[in-house]
Amino acid sequence: MVTRDNQRKVYNRRKVLQAGAALAGVSALGFPAVVSGQSNKIKIGHLTPLTGFLGALGAYAQLGIRMAEEEINRSGGVLGRQIEIISEDSVNPATGATKAQRMFEQDGVALLMGEINSAVALTIMQVAERNKRLFLQIGARSDALRGKNCNKYTFHVDIPNTVMVYAVGKALVRDNMVRGKKFFTLTADYIFGHDLLNAAKRFFAANNGNLIGDELIATDVTDFSPYLLKIRQARPDVVCSNLAGNQVTTLIKQYSEFGLPYPIVGFNLNTADAWAAGEGNLAGTWPTPWYHTLDVPASKTFVDNFTKKNGKPPENHAWIEYISLKMMAQAMNDAKTTDNNKLIEHLEKQSEFDVLKARKAYFRSWDHQLMQEAYPFTVKPKGQAKDRWDLIALGGAVPGASESLEVLAPTREQNPCSMSS
Amino acid sequence: MFLLEQVVNGLVLGGYYLLIALGLSLIFSIGGVVNLAHGAFYAFGAYVAVALTEHIGFGPAIVVSPVVVALLGLLFERFILRRFYTADPVLGLLVTFGLAMMAEQLLRIIFGAAPLSQTMPQSLKGAVFLGDFLFSRYRLMLLGVVAVVLVGVWLLLQKTPFGRVVRAGIQRPDMVAALGIRLQPYLTAIVVLGVSMAALAGALFAPITIVHPAMGAEIITVAFVVVVIGGLGSFWGVVLAALLVGVVRGITIHFVPAAGEASIYVLMFLVLLLRPRGLLGERIEKFE
């Protein structure tokens, strides 16, 4: 009797393993989500990470920019034309740059916006400069982007690392958590983390904190336990996170799991990553550019509308994409053009924009960085949260109401940005 | 002492890889299909556990989730995988790879791209101290669960009539058929078993890792490396390889942190160079 099993083909194990390894490797790459349409609209190219360790933030970014797009189009568009956002996954630095070039060349976009990943933002900035076209860099925080790598064609919305460090640093100094204390840092191993570590080192040096250990952690690491054991061996006074994206979530969860006794603080956090860590796991003092409980009327309206539409409150990347498109629409309306050079000139005039905060914001003319308020926050004690989004207690805005918005930003002497036009 | 901590920690991590790699290895050994969708079942296990925790509590969710996912595994075997046992192995790779991508997008559509949170009971948090030796209480518990599962699977394969047929089926499917035994039900059972082990790993690790759509794609690469290092058809080969991978990664991070993630691939390279069949891989006629 012959059964199916007997007819089994003879095949080569090596071939199967090779193909398997190749496919398993490919699965680490992303796949594009292409959305496009037709003309007579003002097309705006939008790139943001939708996969990988920043993918969750990118999903919020898309919700934010889509909401602004709808609102703008409903109220008549820009310069009498509707706008159309062409949004794609930026994947990695090489793919992001390729897509940016294609959007300029083939899709005919008026300008580019977006990004969260500092490494990808850097390559898109280069594409923008080569093409002499405008790139509104929204969500990447690396100092280098608006410092030594700055260029005339790129404007930066999110708060840079140095300012995030100072925003938290002020609160830490106030709480006597810096002078003479031993710090152990965990740092994301790419341009953003390196950059943030440098800012942290300057802060420690200026305030007599001692950095006794640092670990660079690759962005795809999902198990932090060996690093936690090393932290314990070093016995620091304070553990400090310079991590990015869902690395922060992993750290928070596993730190809480091991129950290490050292207080933890951080110089970078996006609230989606804190929400993902769950109640009772997050602790310490962190910075944020915005939070949905911010007590500003315009911000509350935005939060209500967003929550009604999406069934969950906006995260800071949804907020920043929303205000970024609104700012760009306002700039086009005021400058009465989509011509990139004229828009750049207009933005460099430091006109003010409503960013749903107590104070208006403006792009500083010489480094193209948006000057805006930041907030340190602490975690609400257990039981005080109204819902699972209501994790944190916002501190007062920095700079304070009486100070210049530029007091925390690097000065001309400190910031190696020089733009050749 | 510090090194000992890293070694024990590596063993726990190895146990976690083991739950996923063992199923992958069994399915490959007997069915001849490299199940690249295996990571998806790990992700399903985590998501189902998180979803169930709200309703039935943390502990029950960990038990029920693998059962729910096992049913999915049954459908997967019955309607998809079964067609590829006798087909060109590349087809099996492609179809399971495609399914893995579909599963990831499905999770993204249903649960969103943002990671879900899963909090373990307060009683399981914290560290265990033995003198100066520190360890996570939850992970020690995991190690215990993995050990129990391991012994269970070993007994099943070695001491039961079921296990005898499976082992014979791995080595000589033609002989099994000649004895008038249909291998098909055994294949189904092995796939369901492997899938539920992956789901158990997902459910157990949900509180300490990130529950997000791509978690399956992240784990499948390491699981695959473990299977290759351990060698096909060998139960203990996979066990040894999983623990070795965990420990090597821990020790490397202790001394050369930057090489931590690369170390497991270097290990695979060395093993394949010296023992192309894997550490304890057996000579299996149908694969030669």
Per-residue model confidence as pLDDT tens digits over A202-226: 999 999 999 999 999 998 888 899 9
Helix, strand, or coil (residue B180): coil
Considering A28-37, A153-162, B229-238, the range whose residues carry the highest mean pLDDT is A153-162
**A27, pLDDT greater than 70:** no
Between CA B155 and CA B162 the distance in angstroms is 10
**A387, pLDDT greater than 80:** yes
Q: Is B210 on the interface with A (CB under 8 A)?
A: yes
Per-residue model confidence as pLDDT tens digits over B21-72: 999 999 988 888 889 999 999 999 999 999 999 899 999 999 999 999 999 9
**A250, pLDDT greater than 80:** yes
pLDDT band at A4 (very low <50, low <70, confident <90, very high): very low
Q: Note the pLDDT of residue B136.
A: 87
Considering A18-22, A36-40, A348-352, the range whose residues carry the highest mean pLDDT is A348-352
**B78, pLDDT greater than 50:** yes
What is the Cβ-side half-sphere exposure of residue A20, based on CA atoms within 13 angstroms? 27
Per-residue model confidence as pLDDT tens digits over A49-108: 998 889 889 999 999 999 999 999 999 999 999 999 999 999 999 999 999 999 999 999
Work out how many CB contacts closer than 8 A connect A with B. Answer: 188
Residue contact A60–B114, C-beta within 8 A: yes
Q: Note the pLDDT of residue A381.
A: 84
Between CA A249 and CA A246 the distance in angstroms is 5
Nearest CA in chain B to A246: B210
pLDDT band at A284 (very low <50, low <70, confident <90, very high): confident
Inter-CA distances, A136 with A22, A191, A326, B13, Å: 37, 19, 12, 43
Measured in angstroms, the CA of B152 and the nearest CA of chain A are apart by 27
Residue contact A27–B288, C-beta within 8 A: no
Inter-CA distances, A99 with A96, A104, A123, A155, A252, Å: 5, 9, 11, 19, 34
DSSP string computed for A27-88? TTS---------SSSEEEEEEE--SGGGHHHHHHHHHHHHHHHHHHHHTT-BTTB-EEEEEE
**A5, pLDDT greater than 50:** no
Per-residue model confidence as pLDDT tens digits over B203-218: 999 998 889 998 998 8
Residue contact A229–B97, C-beta within 8 A: no
Mutate which of B142, B210, B211, B264 to test chain A, going by most A C-beta atoms within 10 A?
A: B210
**A8, pLDDT greater than 50:** no
The C-alpha angle A157, A96, B262, rounded to 5 degrees, equals 110
Backbone phi, psi, residue B7, to 5°: -65, -45
Q: CA A282: distance to chain centroid?
A: 19
Report the first-to-last Cα separation within chain A, whole angstroms.
Answer: 83
Which residue in the block uniquely carries the two structure tokens 């501190």? A395
Between CA A364 and CA A371 the distance in angstroms is 7
Query: Which residue in B6, B85, B212 is closest to A229 by CB distance?
Result: B6
Q: Note the pLDDT of residue A35.
A: 44
Per-residue model confidence as pLDDT tens digits over A390-408: 888 999 999 988 999 999 9
Instruction: Indicate the average pLDDT of chain B.
Output: 89
**HEC profile for A346-392?**
HHCCCCCECCCCCCCEEECCCCCEEECCEEEEEECCCCCCCCCCCCE
Beta bridge partners of B206: none
* Chain B stretch 15-74, residues whose beta carbon is closer than 8 A to a beta carbon of chain A: 32, 34, 36, 39
pLDDT band at B280 (very low <50, low <70, confident <90, very high): confident
Choose between B257 and A322: higher pLDDT.
A322
Task: Provide mean pLDDT across the span B222-245.
Answer: 90
- Global ipTM: 0.81
**Farthest-apart Cα atoms in chain B, separation:** 60
Q: CA B284: distance to chain centroid?
A: 22
Q: Note the pLDDT of residue A386.
A: 85
pLDDT band at B99 (very low <50, low <70, confident <90, very high): very high
Contacts of B127 in chain A (CB under 8 A): 258-260
Nearest CA in chain A to B7: A226
Confirm if A43 and A86 have CB atoms less than 8 A apart.
Answer: yes
Q: Note the pLDDT of residue A32.
A: 45
Q: What percent of chain A has pLDDT over 90?
A: 71
Measured in angstroms, the CA of A331 and the nearest CA of chain B are apart by 32
What is the Cβ-side half-sphere exposure of residue A269, based on CA atoms within 13 angstroms? 36
Report which of A190, A201, A165 is spatially closest to residue A286, judged by C-alpha positions.
Answer: A165
Between CA A307 and CA A286 the distance in angstroms is 24
Q: Note the pLDDT of residue B32.
A: 85
Query: Which residue in B2, B114, B257 is closest to A215 by CB distance?
Result: B257
Q: Note the pLDDT of residue A25.
A: 62
Measured in angstroms, the CA of B156 and the nearest CA of chain A are apart by 23
Measured in angstroms, the CA of B70 and the nearest CA of chain A are apart by 23
Q: Is the entire prediction scored with pTM above 0.95?
A: no
Per-residue model confidence as pLDDT tens digits over B131-170: 777 788 898 899 899 999 999 999 999 999 999 999 888 8
Confirm if A251 and A224 have CB atoms less than 8 A apart.
Answer: yes
Contacts of B181 in chain A (CB under 8 A): none
**A1, pLDDT greater than 50:** no
Between CA A61 and CA A243 the distance in angstroms is 19
pLDDT band at A148 (very low <50, low <70, confident <90, very high): very high
Of the listed ranges A316-330, B75-89, B189-203, the one predicted with least confidence = B75-89
**B18, pLDDT greater than 80:** yes
